[in-house]
Amino acid sequence: MTTPAVRLTGITKRFGPVIANDTVDLEVASGTIHGIVGENGAGKSTLVSILYGFYSADSGMMEVDGAPVTIADSAQAIAHGIGMVHQHFMLIPDFTVLENVMLGAEGGALLRDGKAATRAELLRLERDYALDVDPDAVVGDLPVGMQQRVEILKALRRGARILILDEPTGVLTPAETDRFFDILRGLRAQGVTVLLITHKLREIMDVTDNVSVMRRGKMVAHRRTAETTREEIAELMVGRTVSFEVDRIDAVPGPVAMSAHGLTWHDAGGVARLSDVSLDLRNGEILGLAGVSGNGQSELLDILAGIVPVQAGRIVIGSREVAAQSPADPAQMRRLGLAHVPEDRHQRGLILPFDAAENSVLGYHDGPRTGDGRLLDPKAMHAHCAALMARFDVRPGDPRQRAAGFSGGNQQKLVMAREIEPEPRIMLIGQPTRGVDIGGIAFIHAEIMARKAAGCAILLVSVELDEILALSDRIMVMNAGRVVGEVPRAKADTRRIGMMMAGVAEDSAA
């Protein structure tokens, strides 16, 4: 038996009355890829944050390479050979790869000597771990897959033998994800231990040696990945059987409910974020919009919802044309029968200090949900919200609880409930299951399918390619603000859509 790279024993962490980690035990074998999975709020991020020194445990013990350790901050974690690559990269876009890697480890006042030493070390790391990156490239000019390599190189440059990866594939195309997995296997072959935090069970099954499952702050199971199944892991996560199949509802698409023609939009710096984008949304049909985050999908949603005015091009809903000369704000778009589930529920979907009842009427506060229309009626709002919470299984079902107090999945259900309840003719849905656990995903997918069956025209934006393939009738792909192509669901597969996400034209990807 070799000494484990990491052993955590009886780790407990409280935040006020909430027990985030409850006497958690974890053992990670050296030179393996070890997955940690769990629902939202299961405690997995808190656990690795304790290992990396962001939090201190209230009780319990930690060992690294068989030796007891106390880790009070990230500097001490790095000193013990632990590195962490965060979900949102910690890079300076205007710096080169070399400058980013040496930042914080300059090697003294003479930067020339530090640069020379870092360059030599980078060349060694790139050779040993097959992490080829141009040291003189400006990080902001690199694709996200290369930026992730830079983050890994930063950790290895500081002597990391244990690498924590937090949701590392959220911004990668399928092809980049496959290359990233090859990198992880190469790191394992060189003796590096990898802790992989992810909600994507396919990734757990594809690349890990072992997996640990957390539920409600407790560690409930450890499995060798080769000896378990995706279904068993999902059941351990949520405590019940989970179906991975979407009950598709086949419907004959109806007339066009909303169309966009030649939408082009430049940001304040004059950069084109959208270039000549056109689309049709048909009644009873889901148009999926795929693409790596940051390729114009967010701007398109904002323009279609009326949040951002049209600069060039036009939108048509029925007899109403929306253009630069004839704008429409979100309230006017709602009156035209459009509902919008924004990509970021915290920034656009909820007011976190408001209670659930107040959030349940945002944007619809001038209707019957708030009373007689003259003054807000708290009793009417609470009754309306209680009914929504019961129908959409929002937990806890307390209209008086502040939105900030709900888990991410229940916050998302509350937003979905508010936008679905008026039975809109058109729905713009951005990242419907971002940060939502397995049980919540199945519920939200079923609600989207029900709206389609009711004849709603739906634009679905998601970075989750499996979600796009499961729900959509047609799939449109964007790259760098342009539409690369469109594929009917029957002809769509991961490889074809993935190539288009990377910018390969639809004809070439076929």
- State yes or no: pLDDT of 373 exceeds 70: no
Task: Average the pLDDT over each of 310-324, 437-451, 467-481 and give the range with the smallest value.
Answer: 437-451
Query: How many angstroms separate the Cα of 410 from the Cα of each of 253, 390, 392, 402?
Result: 31, 12, 9, 12
Residue in 250, 295, 238 with CA at minimum distance from that of residue 272: 295
Average the pLDDT over 487-496 and give the result.
89
Q: Write out the two tokens for 132.
A: 């080829």
Report residue 5's pLDDT band, with 50, 70 and 90 as the boundaries: very high
Average the pLDDT over 247-259 and give the result.
87
Q: What is the pLDDT of residue 121?
A: 87
- State yes or no: pLDDT of 299 exceeds 70: yes
Ordered DSSP codes for 97-132: HHHHHHTT---SS-HHHHHHHHHHHHHHHHHHHT--
Helix axis angle, 111-129 to 144-157, nearest 10°? 110
Q: 89: how many CB neighbours lie within 10 A of its CB?
A: 17
Q: What is the pLDDT of residue 436?
A: 77
Q: What is the pLDDT of residue 457?
A: 97
- State yes or no: pLDDT of 107 exceeds 80: no
Residues in the chain: 510
How are beta strands 18-28 and 6-15 bridged, if at all? antiparallel
SS3 470: helix
Average the pLDDT over 134-142 and give the result.
88
Task: Average the pLDDT over each of 9-18, 79-88, 351-360, 422-431 and give the range with the smallest value.
Answer: 79-88
> What are the E-state strand segments in 300-453?
312-317, 320-322, 338-341, 426-430
Cis upstream peptide for 396 (omega within 30°) = yes
Q: Write out the two tokens for 148.
A: 């992730």
Angle made by CA atoms 348, 306, 427, in degrees to the nearest 5: 75
Q: What is the pLDDT of residue 265?
A: 96
Cα-based torsion angle of the residue sequence 300, 471, 479, 172 in order, rounded to the nearest 10 degrees:
120
DSSP state of 372: S
Residue in 355, 356, 289, 281 with CA at minimum distance from that of residue 318: 281
- State yes or no: pLDDT of 111 exceeds 90: no
Average the pLDDT over 236-255 and give the result.
80
Q: 71: how many CB neighbours lie within 10 A of its CB?
A: 22
Tell me the C-alpha distance between 323 and 260, whole Å.
10
| pLDDT over 70, % of the chain | 95
Higher pLDDT, 378 or 35: 35
What is the tens place of the pLDDT at every residue in 313-337?
999 999 999 999 999 999 999 999 9
- State yes or no: pLDDT of 423 exceeds 90: yes
What is the tens place of the pLDDT at every residue in 62-94?
999 999 999 999 999 999 999 998 766 788 989
- State yes or no: pLDDT of 229 exceeds 90: yes
Inter-residue contact 483 to 277 (CB < 8 Å): yes
Inter-residue contact 284 to 493 (CB < 8 Å): no
Complete domains list, the chain, with CATH: 6-238 (3.40.50.300), 256-352+423-509 (3.40.50.300)
Average the pLDDT over 387-415 and give the result.
88
Average the pLDDT over 270-296 and give the result.
93
Report residue 509's pLDDT band, with 50, 70 and 90 as the boundaries: low
- State yes or no: pLDDT of 508 exceeds 60: no
Residue in 422, 465, 477, 420 with CA at minimum distance from that of residue 443: 420
- State yes or no: pLDDT of 43 exceeds 90: no
Report residue 268's pLDDT band, with 50, 70 and 90 as the boundaries: confident
**pLDDT mean across residues, the chain:** 89
- State yes or no: pLDDT of 110 exceeds 70: no
Q: Write out the two tokens for 431.
A: 């990242």
Q: What is the pLDDT of residue 1?
A: 61
Report residue 506's pLDDT band, with 50, 70 and 90 as the boundaries: low
Angle made by CA atoms 405, 410, 413, in degrees to the nearest 5: 135
